[in-house]
């Protein structure tokens, strides 16, 4: 269980998050929705240790991980795939995958790469190519696969559909669905509410740094889609 309680994040005088609380059960799935500037990325960054919150707490299982550095959070089984994919362009697809594997034993790496290629088959014939030459969709698949190399119990993903054609965004979503079905918890940040609603059990809508609406996706679907249609 990941539990965020009363979280505050500020950048100088800008208050990006105010009193945000949410949780994800083991193996659960939550979408964080909301317009640009709502605080979605700040929430992921505070959870994964890339920024220190100014108040509140983040607990992960039995551990209080509030303000814990990012590399330690990864080792505890919580991975964050950042906005904009962030693959290392000059390195090959294979090398990028290896970079995600530092907490997997050497023995496990080949098997894990194979699992990733089964999850995202279009990466297989691209293995030796510099990642910067991949399409946007392939880069997103690689970024997710790299995050999964460490075999996390929760993967947090920031706007995976951004800039992708609908069919490609759908391929990415299908990959995430398989990851979730295999038991990994998913924390999905999206501006594309309709896409996110096809994957997740629960929704949190952020507005100006605060939770505006939260609850089961099936109860909120109509309301959320209507508000996004405006
Ligand atoms: N590094 C930063 N420095 C200053 N302000 C920031 C920084 N990152 C985000 N912000 C501000 O914090 C607020 C929330 O941003 P962000 O978390 O990126 O929202 P979202 O991901 O929902 O678009 C916005 O007002 C944004 O301008
Ligand atoms: Mg963002």
Contact 116, 124 (CB under 8 A): no
Query: What is the pTM assigned to this prediction?
Result: 0.95
Residue-wise pLDDT tens for the chain (230 aa)?
Answer: 999 999 999 999 999 999 999 999 999 999 999 999 999 999 999 999 999 999 999 999 999 999 999 999 999 999 999 998 889 999 999 999 999 987 666 678 999 999 999 999 999 999 999 999 999 999 999 999 999 999 999 999 999 999 999 999 999 999 999 999 999 999 999 989 999 999 999 999 999 999 999 999 999 988 888 887 65
Write the pLDDT tens digit of every residue in 58-117.
Answer: 999 999 999 999 999 999 999 999 998 889 999 999 999 999 987 666 678 999 999 999
Q: Which residues line ligand 1 (CB under 6 A)?
A: 11, 14, 16, 34, 36-42
Distance 44 CA to ligand 2 centre (A): 9
Q: How far is the CA of 129 from the centre of ligand 2 (A)?
A: 29
77 C-alpha to ligand 2 centroid (Å): 22
The residue with tokens 């209080």 is 64
Specify the pLDDT at position 105.
66
Question: Which residue's alpha carbon is nearest to atom 24 within ligand 1?
Answer: 37
- Residue-by-residue DSSP string for 29-56: EEEEE--TTSSHHHHHHHHTTSS--SEE
Closest CA to 24 of 169, 217, 223: 217
Nearest ligand to the CA of 34 is: 1
Looking at residue 86, its pLDDT comes to: 84
* Residue 125 alpha carbon to ligand 2 centre in Å: 31
Nearest to 34 by CA among 142, 173, 193, 149: 193
At what angle are helices 136-148 and 166-181 packed, to 10 degrees? Answer: 10
Report the run of H or E that residue 171 belongs to, with start and end.
Answer: helix 166-181
Report pLDDT for 214.
96
What pLDDT is attached to residue 108? Answer: 84
Could you state, in order of their start, the residue ranges of all structural domains in the chain?
Answer: 2-229
CATH class of domain segment(s) 2-229: alpha beta
């Amino acid at each position: 269980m990941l539990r965020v309680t009363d979280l505050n994040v500020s950048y100088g005088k800008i208050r990006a998050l105010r009193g945000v609380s949410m949780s994800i059960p083991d193996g659960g799935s939550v979408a964080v929705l909301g317009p640009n500037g709502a605080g979605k990325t700040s929430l992921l960054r505070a959870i994964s240790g890339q920024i220190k919150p100014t108040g509140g707490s983040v607990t992960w299982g039995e551990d209080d991980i509030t303000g814990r550095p990012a590399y330690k959070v990864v080792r505890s089984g919580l991975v964050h795939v950042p906005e904009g994919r962030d693959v290392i362009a000059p390195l090959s697809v294979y090398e990028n995958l290896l970079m995600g594997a530092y907490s997997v034993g050497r023995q496990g790496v080949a098997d894990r790469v194979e699992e990733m290629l089964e999850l995202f088959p279009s990466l297989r014939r691209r293995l030796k190519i510099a990642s910067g030459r991949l399409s946007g969709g392939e880069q997103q698949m690689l970024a997710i696969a790299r995050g999964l190399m460490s075999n996390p119990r929760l993967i947090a993903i920031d706007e995976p559909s951004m800039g992708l054609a609908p069919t490609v965004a759908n391929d990415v979503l299908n990959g995430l669905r398989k990851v979730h079905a295999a038991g990994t918890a998913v924390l999905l940040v999206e501006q594309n509410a309709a896409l996110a609603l096809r994957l997740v059990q629960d929704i949190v809508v952020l507005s100006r740094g605060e939770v505006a609406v939260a609850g089961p996706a099936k109860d909120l679907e109509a309301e959320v889609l209507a508000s996004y249609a405006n």
